[in-house]
């Protein structure tokens, strides 16, 4: 699928995906299905981007103003130019703001193998559909497409014009075999241009599948499981059933990377869970202050999902322990959460502008300077921080150290007493380990959020929780808690007076 011929085919469509040439709007008499309708229960790979909704979020606008240097440096790197230039051929000076949403659906029993070897089975199918933010003059849109096609392959314009058909409100083009060079496809590819609901649309893909999409025969429903949940939550997502070869490779990689699972129950459980993964999903949800990131794995049964949750939670706990000891560690690690529900396992975190800036700085890229704004200017205001106070609005009490192995992940039972009307979202505490005589024998500091619920404790409430801790000496008899910080649901923070 990375052959020059395939890149040429999709660059023809890409050349008109981002017009930005001042084309005039018209009133659409008929409508094509929305891009997400390209999916079906047979989909082997699904990619979806709702750029229109995502770009309206506060975090998108903030990132857009800060990532200019990153785009410039990436485009100047020679090793990136071949990969980036191929799909962008003929698009210089065009504006990405015109694209509203697009979707790609790939089907086939051996779809991944087909794309890797560029040897395609008859059941292999690919369809891509995109919608613009406006309804564009269709003739001008097609003229732009044909011009770009002729620039990339002289003489292609005449061939495309000869194949042009009008099907209702759609202009249909059959792509000639010579477009693909030596790549032999067991099916024909076509291109469709027409009006859609909310803006003009184009589609490109296997002729039979594209024809079904244009006619409204595809229902847009992914296989039952994690894919359906991702589609309901995120503005951008990726989904595919995991091939068995990939499952075996992941499981073997985890075991080998940890030096074997025979003497490490944590690794054994994680490897066992990975062997039963059948679906993969990645979703991005753009909010006001952060991008919600969700990695979802669909398993054969609930036991496998629980094995994954337990194994990965221990790894994450160790990473968070290390991050707590290093000021330069990525802060997003402290916000990682795992959960298992039915046959689905989920790993989630939030990525803020500060996280992206830290990554850029660690890579030697300076973020764009922040604009100075005043209240009412439309820019997001800083996260409010409550004044330093001597009396804590919440208390954290140690109740019980649950059984576990020394130096391995241990769980404690804690009680949170929230005296504030605002829910508590996160706490930063130190576990001070003591022996029977009350002498200190070690300590460990961590940030903690509820791995499932949005908050640790509702306003004016008392709640008992389980919290992981590490490096617990075998002689530990009691634990004294030190509360360093309380983060509330509205973003305000409390810290004790120095």
Give the pLDDT confidence score for residue 481 in this predicted structure.
Answer: 92
Instruction: Give start and end residues of each alpha helix (H) in 165-238.
Output: 207-214, 226-233
% of the chain residues with pLDDT over 70: 70
Q: Are residues 84 and 142 in the same domain?
A: yes
Q: Are residues 201 and 281 in the same domain?
A: no
Cα separation of 298 and 329, whole Å? Answer: 30
Q: Are residues 194 and 245 in the same domain?
A: no
Q: Are residues 179 and 280 in the same domain?
A: no
Give the pLDDT confidence score for residue 91 in this predicted structure.
Answer: 30
The string of pLDDT tens digits covering residues 315-369 is 788 777 776 776 666 777 778 888 888 888 888 888 888 888 777 666 555 555 5
Phi and psi angles of residue 275, each rounded to the nearest 5 degrees, phi first: -65, -20
Residue 415: is its pLDDT beyond 90? yes
Neighbours of 15 (CB within 10 A): 23
Give the pLDDT confidence score for residue 418 in this predicted structure.
Answer: 93
Residues 6+ apart with CB under 8 A from 327: none
Residue 343 lies in a domain: yes
What average pLDDT does the structure give for the chain? 75
Residue with tokens 């241009």: 193
Give the pLDDT confidence score for residue 384 in this predicted structure.
Answer: 40
SS3 237: strand
Nearest-10 Cα torsion for 250, 123, 238, 41 = -110
C-alpha of 246 from chain center: 20
Token pair belonging to 382? 């800083």
Cα separation of 105 and 39, whole Å? Answer: 6
Residue 22: is its pLDDT beyond 60? no
Residue 385 lies in a domain: no
Q: Are residues 214 and 243 in the same domain?
A: no
Give the pLDDT confidence score for residue 385 in this predicted structure.
Answer: 40
The lowest-confidence range among 228-237, 242-251, 421-430, 476-485 is 242-251
Q: Are residues 81 and 168 in the same domain?
A: yes
Q: Are residues 209 and 244 in the same domain?
A: no
Return the DSSP state at 307.
Answer: H
Residue at a domain's end among 192, 221, 250: 221
Q: Are residues 255 and 208 in the same domain?
A: no
Q: Are residues 85 and 146 in the same domain?
A: yes
Residue 380 lies in a domain: no
Q: At what angle do helices 58-66 and 353-362 cross, to 10 degrees?
A: 20
- Please list the residues that pair with 444 across neighbouring strands: 431
489: domain CATH number is: 2.60.40
Return the DSSP state at 257.
Answer: H
Give the pLDDT confidence score for residue 461 in this predicted structure.
Answer: 92
- Please list the residues that pair with 127 across neighbouring strands: 105, 205
Q: Are residues 13 and 129 in the same domain?
A: yes
Give the pLDDT confidence score for residue 264 in this predicted structure.
Answer: 55
Give the pLDDT confidence score for residue 394 in this predicted structure.
Answer: 92
Return the DSSP state at 377.
Answer: S
Residue 36 lies in a domain: yes
CA 350 → CA 244, 292, 355, 496, distances in Å? 30, 5, 9, 26
Mean pLDDT value of segment 307-311: 82
Residue 417: is its pLDDT beyond 90? yes
Neighbours of 274 (CB within 10 A): 25
Residue 134: is its pLDDT beyond 60? yes
Token pair belonging to 90? 């003929």
Total structural domains within the chain: 3
Residue 342 lies in a domain: yes
Of 86, 134, 125, residue with least CA distance to 107: 125
Give the pLDDT confidence score for residue 31 in this predicted structure.
Answer: 73
Label residue 247 exposed, middle or buried (CB < 10 Å: 0-12, 13-18, 19+).
middle
Residue at a domain's end among 341, 362, 383: 362
E strand or H helix that includes residue 88: none
Residue 417 lies in a domain: yes
SS3 446: strand
Q: Are residues 325 and 428 in the same domain?
A: no
Residue at a domain's end among 343, 362, 381: 362
Q: Are residues 334 and 407 in the same domain?
A: no
- The count of residues in the chain is 498
Radius of gyration (Cα) for the chain, nearest Å? 27
Phi and psi angles of residue 111, each rounded to the nearest 5 degrees, phi first: -60, -45
Give the pLDDT confidence score for residue 29 in this predicted structure.
Answer: 38
The lowest-confidence range among 150-154, 161-165, 343-347, 379-383 is 379-383
Owning domain of residue 153: 4-221
* CB-CB contact of 350 with 333 (8 Å): no
The string of pLDDT tens digits covering residues 224-249 is 777 767 766 678 989 988 877 677 66
* CB-CB contact of 495 with 485 (8 Å): yes
Residue 447 lies in a domain: yes
Phi and psi angles of residue 387, each rounded to the nearest 5 degrees, phi first: -60, 145
Token pair belonging to 167? 């099907």
Residue 139 lies in a domain: yes
Of 171, 168, 162, 160, residue with least CA distance to 138: 171
% of the chain residues with pLDDT over 90: 9
Label residue 96 exposed, middle or buried (CB < 10 Å: 0-12, 13-18, 19+).
exposed
Cα separation of 449 and 426, whole Å? Answer: 5
The string of pLDDT tens digits covering residues 430-439 is 889 898 888 9
Residue 373: is its pLDDT beyond 50? no
Q: At what angle do helices 156-163 and 138-152 cross, to 10 degrees?
A: 140
pLDDT higher at 179 or 425: 425
* CB-CB contact of 71 with 13 (8 Å): no
The string of pLDDT tens digits covering residues 197-212 is 888 888 988 999 998 8
Cα separation of 131 and 32, whole Å? Answer: 10
Label residue 36 exposed, middle or buried (CB < 10 Å: 0-12, 13-18, 19+).
buried
Of 333, 346, 343, 220, residue with least CA distance to 283: 346
């Amino acid at each position: 699928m990375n052959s020059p011929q395939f890149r040429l085919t999709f660059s023809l469509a890409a050349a008109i995906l981002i017009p930005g040439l001042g084309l005039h709007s018209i009133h659409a008499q008929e409508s094509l299905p929305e891009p997400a309708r390209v999916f079906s229960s047979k989909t082997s790979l699904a990619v979806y981007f709702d750029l229109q909704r995502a770009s309206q979020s506060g975090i998108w606008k903030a990132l857009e103003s800060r990532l200019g240097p990153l785009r410039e440096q990436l485009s100047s790197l020679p090793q990136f130019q071949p990969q980036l230039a191929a799909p962008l051929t003929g698009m210089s000076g065009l504006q990405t703001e015109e694209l509203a949403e697009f979707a790609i659906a790939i089907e086939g029993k051996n779809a991944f193998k087909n794309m890797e070897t560029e040897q395609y089975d008859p059941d292999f199918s690919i369809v891509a559909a995109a919608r613009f933010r406006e309804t564009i003059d269709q003739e001008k849109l097609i003229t732009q497409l044909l011009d770009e096609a002729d620039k990339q392959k002289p003489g292609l314009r005449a061939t495309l014009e000869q194949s042009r058909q009008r099907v209702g409100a759609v202009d249909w083009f059959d792509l000639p075999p010579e477009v693909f060079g030596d790549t032999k496809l067991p099916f024909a590819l076509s291109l469709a241009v027409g009006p859609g609901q909310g803006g003009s649309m184009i589609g490109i893909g296997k002729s039979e599948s594209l024809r079904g999409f244009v006619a409204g025969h595809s229902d847009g429903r992914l296989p039952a499981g994690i894919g359906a949940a991702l589609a309901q939550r995120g503005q951008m997502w990726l989904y595919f059933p995991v091939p068995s070869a990939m499952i075996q490779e992941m499981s073997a990689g985890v075991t080998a990377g940890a030096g074997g699972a025979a003497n490490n129950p944590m690794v054994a459980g994680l490897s066992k869970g990975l062997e039963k993964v059948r679906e993969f999903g990645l979703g991005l949800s753009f909010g006001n202050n952060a991008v919600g990131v969700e990695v979802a794995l669909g398993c054969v049964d609930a036991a496998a999902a629980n094995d994954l949750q337990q194994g990965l939670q221990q790894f994450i706990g160790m990473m968070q322990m290390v991050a707590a000891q290093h000021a330069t560690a990525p802060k997003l690690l402290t916000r990682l959460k795992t959960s298992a529900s039915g046959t689905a396992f989920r790993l989630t975190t939030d990525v803020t502008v500060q996280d992206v800036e830290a990554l850029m700085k660690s890579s030697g890229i300076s973020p764009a300077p922040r604009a100075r704004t005043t209240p009412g200017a439309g820019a997001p205001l800083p996260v409010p921080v409550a004044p330093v106070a001597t009396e804590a609005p919440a208390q954290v009490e140690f109740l019980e150290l649950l059984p576990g192995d020394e130096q391995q992940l241990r769980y404690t039972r804690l009680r949170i007493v929230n005296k504030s009307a605002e829910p508590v979202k996160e706490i930063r505490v130190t576990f001070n380990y003591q022996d029977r005589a009350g002498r200190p024998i070690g300590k460990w500091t961590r940030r903690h959020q509820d791995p499932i619920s949005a908050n640790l404790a509702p306003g004016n409430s008392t709640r008992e929780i389980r919290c992981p801790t590490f490096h617990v000496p075998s002689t530990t008899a009691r634990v004294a808690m030190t509360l360093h910080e309380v983060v509330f649901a509205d973003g305000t923070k409390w810290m004790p007076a120095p």
